A and B are shown apart, each in its own frame.
Chain A
Amino acid sequence: METKRIQSFISQNAIYIVLVLLIVAIAIYDPSFLGLNPLRDVLNQSSTRIIIALGVAFILITGGTDLSAGRIVGLTAVVSASMLQVTDYSRRFFPNLGEINFLLPIGLAILVGLIFGLINGVIVAKFKVPPFIATLGTMVAVYGVNSLYFDMDPNNSQPIGGLRRDFTKIFGTGSFGFGGVSIPNIVLIAIIVSIFVWVVFNKTKLGKNMYAIGGNQQAAKVSGINVGRNLIYIYSIAGALYGLAGVLEAARTGGATNNYGNMYELDAIAACVVGGVSTTGGIGTVPGVVTGVLIFTVINYGLTFIGVSPYWQLIIKGSIIVAAVAFDMRKYAAKR
């Protein structure tokens, strides 16, 4: 009985254990990894990824998938950056634009993300196109939209740079002191978003409906849930989160090009599945997704920290994705 309890504890908390083991293993190699700075770097690098992964998690839990996430991040990064250049910058996207309140472009970028999420939702819910295909379509089209915008006169596909310091500081590189420790602003933003998403998942009707739709779409319909409307809401929220992530990417890097966000969706999906989100729907938690992202960042950052070749990192990353899902499958297969 006792061994069974331990087994069940391990299988319930596998990803958290994996994260701890990873950190311990790296720390054994180089104890300085446990210092404040590496830890802060890991969190810093995870922040936008967490926001994107949480957006993707919404959709995975409904039993769908979202391939357009990365491209929407790219588009919204360009949109926000294009309006936030310093006025004396030599090559401005909008040469005659004055210094506007930075909340305006941020709001606009989030709105753009939301609109493309909404389009995904409508294609999936109203035209019954499988999410894989629907979001594959928007993924391609959004890149087109982004490139057209990016190629407009006078920018002509030049990287957008010279972003305002107030903007990059607050939403990118800045930090604040908390009990003598300096915490990056974007870490705080990621925490706020995680709490927001956790509340939506667990405390709202939309969250309950999301789990139900992913758990059994037909049963959800019979239970009186308007499946289509809920899907549209969910895709829209996910889109808005990508929009926010795009803004943060622009702020963090101090610029944007139309290639921003490329393939981010695959990292996000990988983090979700490693974090225990089921690709068949109905299962997934916010702590799981956050841990999934952290695992990948720790691999990236930690292995670089101790000098492992980036090519080996890719092999380890790939193995973890497959192993995590294989382990999860076993867990549910055993329960049947």
Chain B
Amino acid sequence: MPQNEYVLEMNNIVKEFPGVKALNQVTLQVRPGSVHALMGENGAGKSTLMKCLFGIYSPDGGEIILEGKPVVIPNSKIALSLGISMIHQELHPVPYRNVMENLWLGRFPTRGFGPIQFIDHRKMAQDTRDLFRGLDIDLSPDTMVHSLSVSKVQSLEIAKAVSFQSRIIVMDEPTSSLTDVEVEQLFRIIRGLREQGVAIIYISHKMEEILRISDEVTIMRDGNKIGTWPAADLTTDLIISKMVGRDLTNRYPEREHVPGEVLLQVKGLTSPLPKSFKDISFDLRRGEILGIGGLVGAQRTELIEALFGLREIESGSIRMNGQQVQIKSPEVAKKHGMALLTEERRVTGIFPVLSVHENAAIANIDKYQRPYLLLNEKKKRVDVDAMVEKLRTKTPSTKELIMNLSGGNQQKVLLARWLLTEPEILLLDEPTRGIDVGAKYEIYSIIVELAKQGKSIIMISSEMPELIGMSDRILVMCEGKLTGIVDREQASEEEIMRLAAQH
């Protein structure tokens, strides 16, 4: 029997939801022993396609052919038994169990007599070590999982996929919370898997990574397949233009703002925690975008959370308009005209079971309070819905639950929430993380527009081009210390990198 050219063929897959065609005759062909990148904006249909592959959704049309044989995948257990695994963007291990128990969960090796079977811990440890050795993963079988870093947990998940004899492994945004070094480790594991003939479907928004690691790239837009190309034939700009369906001459919007007088003065801000931020001083002007760069662990998030009253400050001062302020809670920060868009949208941002309207309205309820404690619901609805619409949030209605929206649209709702409070200072922590290119540009436009209106913006970003493209000045941190403030004109990736890795 001739070797099949493709290990997986998904032919003309159709999936409809009430009112939307999520997948319109999408075809995906994956070769064995290759890394196949799947790209597209959020809402393009990548996840829906993968959910069809993994049996979470049943397609309304089309066929799935695995190694030449048509298959029906009714649930994820069958998918797993057919050799299809998925590494999710968010990992959910059992935290207070060790590595090997997580790995072999539900299929522990046993020994004993007849019906009396005990778990064979020695064999389990040995199998784990063998598996890790084959994958070049450096992990001890009896480490507790809650003490592992995200990247180690991810390695564990990959090992788990391999242990199921998977021939196809889907990775959904695997690098979104990894450091550069950890990304390299992941790539090493991926290359090893590829040599063993495993096909990897790699979903990511990071162009540079895609171009480095993948063999072929399939691009989707609005539920349609745009095409599949060898990665070698593509460039970042080409991918972007295919994804958004237009040429992006400018990845960042035109800047029309001019920073004014100093609004915020931070002096010697120090955290009580020994490994956190120390002696941070900077000024922020009206209508200025101040970027904060640094590596993971630079304590950037901790710094702006302290500014917003979410973390304690041991010493140092914060002045607004020359007046010293004590910000002890987000409530106080809000009163001083601050707003914080947190990095972890799902953990500290959205209220998943509440509607888009309630999510957007929550920080600004005071404004609609009438005497006798009742709310002016009508005015609230008009104001809030207008803001949600102004940011061009894609949602069937503002009554829709926010958890049904894509990441980019959730982020717009959160921006709307804070813009409604009419803040003077916006603290944005990785505002475009996990958001597709088109929505990113819209968020950039909103930020630039806000600066033009005289709002001051502090923006943490781990994407160098974004930092340089958006900021007036870039404050760089390393291990809790301020290592430099770079002006826009002098900013280069090399300079920021040098400051970020100074210690």
Contact = CB atoms under 8 A, between A and B. Distances in A.
Interface of A: 1, 4, 199, 202-206, 208-209, 211-212, 215-216, 218-226, 278, 282-283, 332, 335-336
B350 interface: yes
Closest 10 CB pairs of A and B: A215-B351, A224-B334, A282-B353, A223-B363, A224-B330, A218-B348, A205-B365, A216-B351, A224-B331, A215-B354
Contact of B351 (A204, A211, A224, A335): A211
B348 to A, nearest CB: 5
Contact of B374 (A1, A199, A219, A335): A199
23 contacts: A4-B18, A203-B374, A211-B354, A215-B351, A215-B352, A215-B354, A216-B348, A216-B350, A216-B351, A216-B352, A218-B348, A221-B330, A221-B348, A223-B417, A224-B329, A224-B331, A224-B421, A226-B329, A278-B353, A282-B351, A282-B354, A283-B353, A335-B403
A282 B308 CA distance: 25
A222 B340 contact: yes
B211 interface: no
A212 to B, nearest CB: 5
A208 to B, nearest CB: 5
A237 B375 CA distance: 19
Max chain B Cβ within 10 angstroms of own Cβ: one of A205, A212, A218, A222: A222
A209 B351 CA distance: 11
Contact of B350 (A1, A208, A219, A283): A219
A222 B310 contact: yes
A208 B361 contact: yes
B331 A225 contact: yes
Given A211-B358, A222-B342, A205 B369 contact: yes
B351 A205 contact: no
Contacts, number: 85
B374 A209 contact: no
B148 interface: no
Nearest to A208: B365
A126 to B, nearest CB: 14
Interface in B368-389: 369, 373-375, 377
Nearest to B402: A215
Contact of A212 (B347, B351, B373, B374): B351
A212 B349 CA distance: 11
B403 A223 contact: no
Contacts of B361: 208
B324 interface: no
Contacts of B421: 224
A225 B331 CA distance: 6
Contacts of B425: none
Contacts of B348: 216, 218-219, 221-222
Interface string B394-419: 00000001011000000000000100
